[in-house]
Structure 1
């Protein structure tokens, strides 16, 4: 009775599981294997090792025949089990292959949870071209980083992205709690929210709603970024902690090139990290109280003495970004400095040389 109750409880748990057929067949295989092992020992009077060895080779139809059944009852049981083995082993492999294909279809259609950890989650599929560039540029800096795309309108990822390694798709309604739980936002570095329609400025309203929902499923360890369609809608995001990005940054490169020759190449290299140098956000400790001009002079000397390649890029102070600070700008305790440097740049060591 206890064994039957165990199977009944197990069946209730797996009734709604996609792999229930496979589980049922495995359970029956184990039951038949054990039952035959016990019967063979009882009928043939052999050791437990020998009885279960006979059970395995009979059930799998291998039939080595090391010590075949000698009694009539034992032979009948052997015939019965080998016949069942042909059916059950065939069903087992067939169901296993079907289940494997089922999992592939579930993943392709976006019905599985996000397996990516310490990667990036993208809400609203931005298109094949943008996604491909984003993957290439991110992985140019972070080798093998994973991405998950969450979208309610996309049926499946385009064929050109199906073969991308560590790229996952979750299909879900943005107003559904299940969507955010399946995306595992809190276990990834950042969430990037693209507009539902990049040609419709009303999409910024949907983006704002999505950011509010994303914040409920993240903590301070996961950054939130959003792409803005219309600059006039920036006011809607003033009270959020989301980092704002204006439209397609390629436009920035084009505008710069119109103003100054070679600027487009410089900006594109900077954004794509194609030469390995990228912005590093550093937090000053020993240079607090210096002016920007003093910092520039000391950086020049320290670079020459240490052979370190880096350049001052921007100053963030009192929540305001300044890419060209005045020479007499004093660096305060709340300041954050952006430095262009290679990946192995160590600000703590460099700042020690400055002071």
Structure 2
């Protein structure tokens, strides 16, 4: 707690509250040093005793185990105790004001993002979407830090701000300082929501944000964005970002109309809170095996395996194929999307399939 307090001090070192606290601390320290020097020389005691007597007097504890004996010593003791009452009170008041200032600055979004290896979300998507997003994300990454960056809201709603490891940053995507304060280069995933979820022109604002983001992020940082209008996808061809269609809910409804329960199946796969989730693994030892042999051998291995999984698709050159031909040969470097649980040991699983194949 004390270390956290001093770390917070550095965040406000240019504020009036910090300067006031600093002044009171310096005055209090100076007065106590002066008293210790005077007490030592007037009362002819050790430095240890002089400092101890100073602390007793300044804090009004007054143990009195070795009080001042000379007239001058008693006078300066009276002066220090009188002055200390005012300065100690002012010091506690300054600390309280600082803590309130820090809370207010954080609530209003004026504090830098304190999290690393977390998620930065541009444009607050609304309470329901944000709450759902956090719940699903935290089902897997329980304490991951999430920072919302927005210039259109004054504060985060209490339902979101009260959740642990949530931060709000007030900032415009058109300001360089926003990307620095959000520490986008130190977080693993950046998500850009549209400014207006039902307005296709919002894709233009998203494009600008992503272009600027790419100046600050590293190659290990993923950028995801929500696309309002699929016809605007061409604008992002040169960006190293992945888009998610804002109309997925509509697609789910259409699919459900064509095939009952299909939307429920997709939900089961996408919701972290439902259990099994899609996981992408890389083909290595399985290179050269046909899709048919892989599926057959996989079933044999799973019958005596403590883990369960199901293959959803093969991904090659960025393209997904959920229905490959039985004769399709797996190549080294191919990606497989499988539905399974956390910590599925894919490399061990590959080894067991190869053993069965041979």
> Which band: TM-score by shorter chain?
over 0.9
1:279 maps to 278
Determine if the alignment matches structure 1 residue 175 to structure 2 residue 166: no
Q: Report the Cα distance in structure 2 between the residues aligned to 1:66 and 1:168, rounded to whole angstroms.
A: 51
2:42 maps to 43
1:253 maps to 252
Which aligned pairs between 1:144-155 and structure 2 lie closer than 5 A?
Answer: 144-155=143-154
Which aligned pairs between 1:234-313 and structure 2 lie closer than 5 A?
Answer: 234-313=233-312
Which aligned pairs between 1:6-85 and structure 2 lie closer than 5 A?
Answer: 14=13, 16=15, 18-85=17-84
- Native 8 Å contact 1:141 1:276 kept in 2: no
2:211 maps to 212
Q: Report the Cα distance in structure 1 between the residues aligned to 2:247 and 2:112, rounded to whole angstroms.
A: 29
- Native 8 Å contact 2:228 2:247 kept in 1: no
Q: Deviations over 1:267-307 (max 9, x none)?
A: 22221122321111111111112222222112111111324
Question: Could you say what the CA RMSD is over the residues aligned between the two structures, in angstroms?
Answer: 1.6
Q: Report the Cα distance in structure 2 between the residues aligned to 1:276 and 1:171, rounded to whole angstroms.
A: 35
Change (3 A) 1:18 1:260: farther
Instruction: Indicate the SS of the match to 2:273.
Output: coil
Q: Report the Cα distance in structure 2 between the residues aligned to 1:273 and 1:250, rounded to whole angstroms.
A: 17
Instruction: Indicate the SS of the match to 1:19.
Output: helix
- Native 8 Å contact 1:150 1:172 kept in 2: yes
Q: Report the Cα distance in structure 2 between the residues aligned to 1:119 and 1:308, rounded to whole angstroms.
A: 29
Q: Report the Cα distance in structure 2 between the residues aligned to 1:16 and 1:194, rounded to whole angstroms.
A: 33
- Native 8 Å contact 2:278 2:337 kept in 1: yes
Q: Report the Cα distance in structure 2 between the residues aligned to 1:274 and 1:256, rounded to whole angstroms.
A: 22
Q: Report the Cα distance in structure 1 between the residues aligned to 2:247 and 2:79, rounded to whole angstroms.
A: 70
Determine if the alignment matches structure 1 residue 321 to structure 2 residue 320: yes
Unmatched 5+ stretches in structure 1: 1-12
1:142 maps to 141
Change (3 A) 1:198 1:275: closer
Q: Report the Cα distance in structure 2 between the residues aligned to 1:248 and 1:27, rounded to whole angstroms.
A: 60
The offset of 1:21, in angstroms, is 1.2
The offset of 1:109, in angstroms, is 0.4
Q: Deviations over 1:45-67 (max 9, x none)?
A: 01111111110111111112111
1:119 maps to 118
User: TM-score, normalized by length of structure 1?
Assistant: 0.93
Instruction: Indicate the SS of the match to 2:169.
Output: strand
2:4 maps to none
- Native 8 Å contact 1:318 1:334 kept in 2: no
Instruction: Indicate the SS of the match to 2:20.
Output: helix
User: TM-score, normalized by length of structure 2?
Assistant: 0.92
The offset of 1:255, in angstroms, is 2.8
- Native 8 Å contact 1:253 1:268 kept in 2: no
